[in-house]
A and B are shown apart, each in its own frame.
Chain A
Amino acid sequence: MKASTRLQRLITDALSHSMPVHTMLRIARQVIQNYDLYENSGFPPNIPIPSIDAARQIAIDMINEDLVVKFVEILIDVYENGLMGRKITVRYLPQILKELESSGLIYDDEYKMFVEKSDMKRTIGWGVLQENNIYDLSFISLDIVNNSELVRKYPKNQIALAYSDIREIFKYHVEKRNGRIWEWEGDGGFAAFYLQDKNIKAVLSGIDILLELFLYNLLHCELDEAIHIRLAVHTGPCHFTYNIQSLQSDTLDKLMELEAKYTPPDNLVISSGVYFDMGSKLEHFFRPVPIAGGNFVYRYSLEWEK
């Protein structure tokens, strides 16, 4: 996140007007474990650092390390719950929150963290995931069936238009539920969900996409035939990186396996870990399908009364 000089100034003021240097240091070390204020500020270790200099240095370092959001989350926690049993009134917090809000982040009181405002520019890490950290995420993948045949059969611009429509449908339904597209390559891609009800949101997006595709094929598709897709949803731990191409993840491998091996065209298949989060209404949408090792996957497709 690109932090403004105003944010740096507000954090500096908040720290210097609210707590002594050793408390600032304790908070900074919750974000960067071996944080060394003396080394970073250039002050000799035997000289006490003035409060304003310590505060300024911490604010600069947090911004430079791209950890300012995490730092503010801890400041909020300190304000709400105190530190080591002591109550601390952190000044300028409303102004800091307002400043972050103008950068597109809003504090989620339930999850005690900042997330991107829904009406602002979206990033693949919701503005809060840190590079190389591991997070529990839910993923949905989409694959257009018979891609090579379609590409051979139709003129380039016609197929490009149809595929772009499918991408728009995918994007709309994923982002409607605060998911993020991590990759899209011509004939398919995948998206991630984080935070509250991530499994349910991924699954609802999948069902919505199948319904929308049905209407698209019926009413809008310019090709002489319907476009068919496969959708899969799986959940598990995954490293976060902005370089998605380099991403190695067992969870994503499993997602691709679900899609390729167990998903017929125009079906949504979910793993058992996802299914058990569905709740009493949504679980009725799925039919269990036995797979190897006595396990099950669960399938949904749009069905009509006979």
Chain B
Amino acid sequence: MKTIVFSSNKDLLNLIGKKSAAVTTLSPSSITKTINNSTEPLLVYLDVSSINDKLPKRISFLTSKEKIYFGILDPDRNIQDIAELYFAGAVDYLAGKQIEAGFDEKRFKRISRYLEEFRVDYREEIELQKMHQKAIKYICTERGWQEIVPGKEYTFSIMFIELDGKYDMEKIFGKKNLEVALSVFRKYLDRNVSHFGGRIWMWFQFGGIALFPFDGRECESVYCGFRIMLYKLMHDVEESLFPNFISFRIALLLGNVTYQENDTGNVISDSINTIFHLGRKHAQEGQFYITKDILQFAPKPLVDYFIPVGKFEEIPIYRMRKPVLPSP
């Protein structure tokens, strides 16, 4: 786990520089940006002498973030009630000369062991990382679709989208009306998916599977699903031919698929199987689900809009908070 010290105290920074080359030191003014942009677990130390009266605010910011574990460095021994820090979620505290004596790699390893034993979120994260190292070997494509050749295996963001309530639709709207309304719905998805470099790969009357090539760095597909949900109500009023507000489910995961252009209905793939199960059996109406592995590649500011909702086939999954109409 990476360790960062936020301090502007020159003596302390000199000391840390001598003690551990693996520790990154940053100015306290960059806390928000650094933490918001982080995707991996971090051990963060706040230097009380550089932060002073902003300490409670900084602590409450850090505790609100997932995968962020923090300790306190108190060179001048200003903290009166150390237990309060632990109640607020701190995992370490060093004061005065303890910093010189004990702030080193050995201590960081002990903290990691402690977290693994006592903090469920950290343990889950480590398990997930281990699982990924074992399970998926990402086959990335730098140039997207240009690189993709039928018959070869690649890593894709795999998106399942399907309208809810499909069984009654033909009866309610009539066959012809339904066909026209569904083609408009497909156009809405096509437009959004292609805007983010994806393609609808399979289509089955009420929905389909879209693929987005994965470059190993970021999954714009999460942003795509987010936009589809955000603009869903606008689609309802401006474009949709269904007379009522429509509802659909989206599920998204990162997986390997042997790409083929034709006969996609007969594809045999674990990832496709999983996305169908997640989308059809697990996802609830009107919701957008993503797996934890893809969340770590999501644009960072979007992460806070996804809430953990348990596990699906041992994979932690998240659901997007939905934009809603005002209650009457």
The yes or no verdict on A and B being binding partners is yes
Q: Fill in one digit per residue for B223-236: 1 if any A CB lies within 8 Å of its CB, else 0.
A: 10001001101101
Residue pair A304, B322 in contact (C-beta under 8 Å) = yes
Contacting B325 at CB < 8 Å: which of A211, A219, A285?
A285
Residue pair A281, B245 in contact (C-beta under 8 Å) = yes
Cβ of A119 under 8 Å from chain B: no
Within 8 A of A (CB), among B274-328: 299, 301-302, 305, 321-326, 328
Contacting A302 at CB < 8 Å: which of B237, B299, B301, B323?
B323
Residue pair B323, A303 in contact (C-beta under 8 Å) = yes
Residue pair A219, B299 in contact (C-beta under 8 Å) = yes
Residue pair A286, B299 in contact (C-beta under 8 Å) = no
User: Tally of A-B residue pairs with Cβ under 8 A?
Assistant: 47
Residue pair B230, A285 in contact (C-beta under 8 Å) = no
A305 to B301, CA, bound (A): 18
Interchain nearest-CB distance for A6 vs B (Å): 40
A287 to B322, CA, bound (A): 19
A305 to B322, CA, bound (A): 6
Band of interface residues on A: 20 to 34
Cβ of B238 under 8 Å from chain A: yes
Cβ of A223 under 8 Å from chain B: no
Give the nearest-CB partner of B300 in chain A.
A219
Measured between beta carbons, the chain B residues less than 8 angstroms from A207 are 234
Residue pair A287, B234 in contact (C-beta under 8 Å) = no
Given contacts A204-B234, A219-B299, contact A285 B326 (CB under 8 A): yes
Interchain nearest-CB distance for A199 vs B (Å): 13
Within 8 A of B (CB), among A269-283: 279, 281-282
Given contacts A211-B234, A281-B236, A281-B245, contact A287 B324 (CB under 8 A): no
Given contacts A211-B231, A219-B299, contact A282 B237 (CB under 8 A): yes
A304 to B307, CA, bound (A): 13
Residue pair B233, A215 in contact (C-beta under 8 Å) = no
A219 to B299, CA, bound (A): 8
Measured between beta carbons, the chain A residues less than 8 angstroms from B324 are 303-305
Give the nearest-CB partner of A303 in chain B.
B324
Measured between beta carbons, the chain B residues less than 8 angstroms from A301 are 326
Interchain nearest-CB distance for A166 vs B (Å): 18
Residue pair A303, B237 in contact (C-beta under 8 Å) = no
Q: Fill in one digit per residue for B66-77: 1 if any A CB lies within 8 Å of its CB, else 0.
A: 000000000000
Interchain nearest-CB distance for B207 vs A (Å): 22
Measured between beta carbons, the chain B residues less than 8 angstroms from A214 are 230
Measured between beta carbons, the chain B residues less than 8 angstroms from A218 are 301-302
Measured between beta carbons, the chain A residues less than 8 angstroms from B328 are 287
Give the nearest-CB partner of A218 in chain B.
B301
Residue pair B326, A304 in contact (C-beta under 8 Å) = no
Cβ of A284 under 8 Å from chain B: yes
Contacting A281 at CB < 8 Å: which of B231, B237, B302, B305?
B237
A284 to B323, CA, bound (A): 13
Cβ of A208 under 8 Å from chain B: yes
Measured between beta carbons, the chain A residues less than 8 angstroms from B227 are 215
Within 8 A of B (CB), among A253-306: 279, 281-282, 284-287, 300-305
Interchain nearest-CB distance for A10 vs B (Å): 39
Within 8 A of B (CB), among A179-231: 204, 207-208, 211, 214-215, 218-219
Measured between beta carbons, the chain B residues less than 8 angstroms from A279 are 237
A214 to B323, CA, bound (A): 12
A304 to B325, CA, bound (A): 8
Give the nearest-CB partner of B244 in chain A.
A281
A214 to B305, CA, bound (A): 13
Measured between beta carbons, the chain A residues less than 8 angstroms from B234 are 204, 207-208, 211
Residue pair A286, B326 in contact (C-beta under 8 Å) = yes
Leading 3 A-B pairs by shortest Cβ distance: A287-B326, A218-B301, A281-B237
Pairs across A and B, CB under 8 Å, 20 listed: A204-B237, A211-B234, A214-B230, A215-B230, A218-B301, A219-B302, A279-B237, A281-B236, A281-B245, A284-B245, A287-B326, A300-B326, A302-B323, A303-B323, A303-B325, A303-B326, A304-B305, A304-B321, A304-B324, A305-B322
